[in-house]
Structure 1
Amino acid sequence: MDLRLLAALVLGIAAIVVVVLRTRLDAFIALLIAALLTGFVAGAPVTDVLNSITDGFGSTMGDIGIVIGLGVGVGKILEVSGAADALARAFVKMFGKGREPWAMAGTGALVSIPVFCDSGYVIMNPLARSIARRKKAGYVTLALALGCGMTLTHHLVPPTPGPLGVAGILGADVGGMILAGVVCTLVLVPLMVLYAKWIGPRLEEHVLPDVRGEVYSTATVTPDAVPTTHGSADSSTDDGAEHAGGLREESAAETPRRMPTWLAALPLVVPLLLIVVNTVATAIDQSARGVLDADDYEPSGIVGVLAFVGSPVVALLIGLVLAVYVLLPRVTTRNQVADWLSQAAASAGLIILITGAGGAFGQVLRDTGVGQELATVIASWSLPGVLVPFLVATLVRLAQGSGTVAMITAASVSAPLVGSLGVSPLAAAIACCAGSMVFSYFNDSYFWVVTRFTGLDGVAAIRGWSGITTVVWLGSLPLVLLAGAVL
């Protein structure tokens, strides 16, 4: 056992936590400092460490940077066009009376695939309030189901930036990530809804008086300010994500533009289907042609066409074009669209940098031999290999609060270990994402968004929001073990 290499890893992860929590610097800087510190402590020459950082950053960005940019663009157009609102109302109508928590969970899960959690929750929360006002009860249950539905897909399903970054760092297939993430979400939603329905009625009496008045009164307008966020970075959200500009109940003057559900879903469903169809068609063709190594495989014919249009870059480009030309009114000007896309790019910029810095950190771990040394140590434990990224993500999430930073850090640490641990890149990616959902609390800005809008404080906030995120984290553990066994 080379204690120097293991010390390099421990100091690198500690640097991330300390910089994010105790300084004015963000996760991007923290990951770069960790990469430098790890390389120096491991004894690598300065020039080699710098080359590893630039190589890792560049290769990661080449795989995933464009995709993240396009994905947040689609999400912004869904937000400003009213498509997100249309999808929410469709879910409520589909599930029917008495099943509103399921409708809220489904709404959150779908909307949060392209839209940042903070913004998505602010946009959708008025619908939960209006349902609770009509029922004169059940607001906490609806609010928790909505928020945690967003947490699930935001952590598990590309093209959310966090899972996309993890896929890029680990080399996991994006289509496979979508399929596995959707399956995990479908399994975890019932668990999450049951917890919301159990804890919600027990917390109704703890809702702050001003929020209770806003929800159950006949007023149509609520305070315009977004709750102040605390902690260093967001958890289910992406670091640096834009917070929407205010919570407004629907009024006659501000009724969202209505559109058919199928139209609202088109820019989201089409690229997801293209990516998934490409993954399935490629796997079938590889098997039929007896090609075992993906590097030796070259698609042709109809499979080649599907590989082109189903590549994440092309699929999301199609989705963005559909969003702009199908969802927005014809009178929308080019300048207005450019302004919206600029806002989306600004909110995604830090995520892209964090993802690239995570790739740089992983490359340093790989080139210095730290990753291989960690694999050797872990191999001496009687521990399933897939639990390594899961536990790393869990510990980093608890330490600094950001789910995105947790999963990117876990992917960076795990990338050099995947082969040695006998874990597929896809299974490792799912483990990183699932582990980062644990116990959202005070150092997570999304904790403050959900609890302030829900009107929960203190112990009630912990029981409600921290509890429901921990329930889905625990529920994901068997799924992670299953993924490690079959993927």
Structure 2
Amino acid sequence: MDLQLLLALVVGIATIVVLVLRTRLDAFAALLIAALVTGSIAGSAPTDTITSITTGFGTTLGSIGIVIGLGVAVGKILEVSGGADALARAFLKAFGKGREPWAMGSTGALVSIPVFCDSGYVIMNPLARSIARVKQGGYVTLALALGCGMTLTHHLVPPTPGPLGVAGILGADLGGLILVGLAFALLLLPVVVAYAKWMGPQLESEVNEEVRRAVYGTVTVGAGSAGGTATATASGDAGDAGDAGPTDEEGRPERKPLGAGVASLPLLVPLLLIVLNTAAAAIDRNQQGVLDPNADYTPSTWAATLAFIGNPVVALLIGLVLAVYVLLPRWTPRAKVNNWLAEAAASAGLILLITGAGGALGQVLRDSGVGDALAEAIASTGMPGILVPFLIATLVRVAQGSGTVAMITAASVSAPLVVGLGLSPLAAALACCAGSMVFSYFNDSYFWVVTRFTGLDGIAALKGWSGITTAAWAGSIPLVLLAGWVL
């Protein structure tokens, strides 16, 4: 690998670490400075680096920014209405006492099959907060299990975009990839839950004060808080959480507590619409004979309609309307609802900026050629078999942050090598997907979504989120080796 590109990567990462841990600058400024430093050392023209930063920032927020804003707003209404607490009681009852991390990990894995991790985490995080509030502890464990449960299926199971692209590039059987990807996810879920239960208690004291107050502290309904959440402290067991429901100006109950079925509507309806969109596109492509997921096609009228209402932006808008008009009492003053939504938007601001800056850094790393140089260096070593696509995806992920880009890059580089390495396309596809899960950190936008919502910073964020994604990656190695031998 070109030493200049390697130096650019190392210095860029060091810049982030030093600025975040040792200076007064926050992660948003640190990411932008690191992007400038990386581009300069890599030899990119200053104007090209600026273009990469603005493109990466805009592209990232263009795809996830609106969704984060709407998801935070839905979460706010779930919290102040008592809906999130109703769902927390239902989850605790379904999985049983002591199995809350399994509830969060399993739910995350299911939700993330049709939904991007970032969107799904924003939608589901209020549940983790409510369960932690009911139990008065364990929020970090639940948040990590939820986030990494989503990571598993997002990286391993079509119809998420990354695995779909890998299957198309390598010519892997899509049905086989779905089945084996699900098997991988099920086998790795215990690794995720075990790590969350081990590391979570160690990091509970590291949660920043703002998020801690939002999760555990007594906060007047409607008061500002991080991540779009604010509620009164709920103590005792799950059956007592949220029984008082919303109160009027004099503290009197306004209505009976919400049931889990009604409370779930702002979550389930958007998720179902997004799933219908995904399924409709797959069925329509099959009917038209357009089997290549990367090929353009003109959707039928019915598929185009579902694609519109199943777009995450439209689906979450519908969810927000349901939250406001179904969860809140009809006599709730408009000014109060507007205040809640304004507080949600304010709390989402820093998350949006940091998420966009992470995308900017990733774009600089891609445009400077660091990712491609790493992939080519690994492919040229002559490393045997199944570990070649796995390690290409691993190193590209570390270099530029995006798991989807990492697995697509690994598939592109590995495609000419599959026959010579004696691999089946399905085994190679699994290796690309699994290798891309490693060490989510500063240049990954999802890192910032999870850690900001969880309230972890600096070393604690690395121990929690970077650690759990690396544990999932390490757990996949024997599975990848087995796939290379069996498939």
- TM (normalized to structure 2)? 0.65
Q: Which residue of 2 aligns with 1:260?
A: 259
Letter in 2 for 1:123: S
Deviations, residues 263-293 of structure 1 (Å, cap 9, x unaligned): 1111111111111221122122223322225
Change in CA separation of 1:270 and 1:476 when aligned onto 2, cut-off 3 Å: farther
Moved more, 271-280 or 465-474: 465-474
Q: Does 1:349 align with 2:353?
A: no
Distance 1:243 1:58 in 2: 26
Change in CA separation of 1:358 and 1:415 when aligned onto 2, cut-off 3 Å: farther
Distance 1:2 1:14 in 2: 19
Distance 2:21 2:39 in 1: 22
Q: Secondary structure at the match of 2:98?
A: helix
Q: Secondary structure at the match of 1:259?
A: coil
Q: Which residue of 1 aligns with 2:13?
A: 13
Cα offset, 1:310, TM superposition: 1.0
Q: Does 1:106 align with 2:103?
A: yes
Q: Which residue of 1 aligns with 2:276?
A: 277
Q: Which residue of 2 aligns with 1:385?
A: 389
Distance 1:352 1:425 in 2: 32
* Structure 2 gap segments, 5+ residues each: 109-119, 155-159, 167-177, 206-215, 220-225, 247-256, 416-427, 442-446, 457-462
Change in CA separation of 1:278 and 1:76 when aligned onto 2, cut-off 3 Å: same
Distance 1:52 1:359 in 2: 10
Deviations, residues 34-85 of structure 1 (Å, cap 9, x unaligned): 2211111122221121122222222222222111211211112112211111
Q: Which residue of 2 aligns with 1:83?
A: 83
Letter in 1 for 2:335: N
Q: Secondary structure at the match of 1:24?
A: coil
* Structure 1 gap segments, 5+ residues each: 130-138, 159-165, 173-177, 209-221, 226-239, 397-407, 450-462
Could you tell me whether the CA contact under 8 Å between 2:76 and 2:228 is conserved in 1?
A: no
Q: Does 1:41 align with 2:48?
A: no
Letter in 2 for 1:100: K
Deviations, residues 400-449 of structure 1 (Å, cap 9, x unaligned): xxxxxxxx835598489355444999997876566439xx9xxx788888
Q: Which residue of 2 aligns with 1:299?
A: 299
Could you tell me whether the CA contact under 8 Å between 2:38 and 2:365 is conserved in 1?
A: yes
Could you tell me whether the CA contact under 8 Å between 1:268 and 1:319 is conserved in 2?
A: yes
Report 1:354-433 matches (<5 A): 354-381=354-381, 382=383, 383-387=387-391, 409-411=401-403, 414=406, 417-418=409-410, 420-422=412-414
Deviations, residues 176-212 of structure 1 (Å, cap 9, x unaligned): xx99999877655555667899999xx9xxx99xxxx
Distance 1:152 1:389 in 2: 18
Deviations, residues 349-403 of structure 1 (Å, cap 9, x unaligned): 222222222222232223322222122113235334345555777x79xxxxxxx
Cα offset, 1:255, TM superposition: 2.5
Q: Which residue of 1 aligns with 2:323?
A: 323
Change in CA separation of 1:126 and 1:184 when aligned onto 2, cut-off 3 Å: farther
Q: Does 1:127 align with 2:116?
A: no
Report 1:54-69 matches (<5 A): 54-69=54-69
Distance 1:446 1:63 in 2: 19
Change in CA separation of 1:477 and 1:20 when aligned onto 2, cut-off 3 Å: farther
Change in CA separation of 1:302 and 1:467 when aligned onto 2, cut-off 3 Å: closer
Could you tell me whether the CA contact under 8 Å between 2:88 and 2:131 is conserved in 1?
A: yes
Change in CA separation of 1:417 and 1:252 when aligned onto 2, cut-off 3 Å: closer
Letter in 1 for 2:282: A
Cα offset, 1:314, TM superposition: 0.9
Distance 1:370 1:145 in 2: 34
Q: Secondary structure at the match of 1:341?
A: helix
Cα offset, 1:27, TM superposition: 2.1
Q: Secondary structure at the match of 2:99?
A: helix
Distance 2:404 2:32 in 1: 12
Could you tell me whether the CA contact under 8 Å between 2:393 and 2:406 is conserved in 1?
A: yes
Could you tell me whether the CA contact under 8 Å between 2:11 and 2:38 is conserved in 1?
A: yes
Could you tell me whether the CA contact under 8 Å between 2:394 and 2:406 is conserved in 1?
A: no
Deviations, residues 445-482 of structure 1 (Å, cap 9, x unaligned): 88888xxxxxxxxxxxxx99999888666546667889
Letter in 1 for 2:97: E
Moved more, 262-271 or 146-155: 146-155
Change in CA separation of 1:182 and 1:338 when aligned onto 2, cut-off 3 Å: farther
Change in CA separation of 1:269 and 1:415 when aligned onto 2, cut-off 3 Å: same
Distance 2:468 2:293 in 1: 41
Q: Secondary structure at the match of 2:389?
A: coil
Distance 1:45 1:466 in 2: 32
Distance 1:198 1:365 in 2: 33
Q: Which residue of 2 aligns with 1:249?
A: 235
Q: Which residue of 1 aligns with 2:222?
A: none
Cα offset, 1:309, TM superposition: 0.9
Deviations, residues 227-262 of structure 1 (Å, cap 9, x unaligned): xxxxxxxxxxxxx74675774426899733521211
Letter in 2 for 1:323: A
Distance 2:66 2:298 in 1: 23
Distance 1:484 1:330 in 2: 59
Change in CA separation of 1:466 and 1:128 when aligned onto 2, cut-off 3 Å: farther
Q: Secondary structure at the match of 2:245?
A: coil
Cα offset, 1:17, TM superposition: 1.8
Cα offset, 1:19, TM superposition: 1.7
Change in CA separation of 1:447 and 1:281 when aligned onto 2, cut-off 3 Å: closer
Change in CA separation of 1:392 and 1:153 when aligned onto 2, cut-off 3 Å: same
Q: How many residues align?
A: 402
Distance 1:275 1:197 in 2: 31
Distance 2:243 2:22 in 1: 42
RMSD of aligned alpha carbons: 5.1
Distance 1:278 1:483 in 2: 31
Percent identity of equivalent pairs:
50
Change in CA separation of 1:346 and 1:260 when aligned onto 2, cut-off 3 Å: same
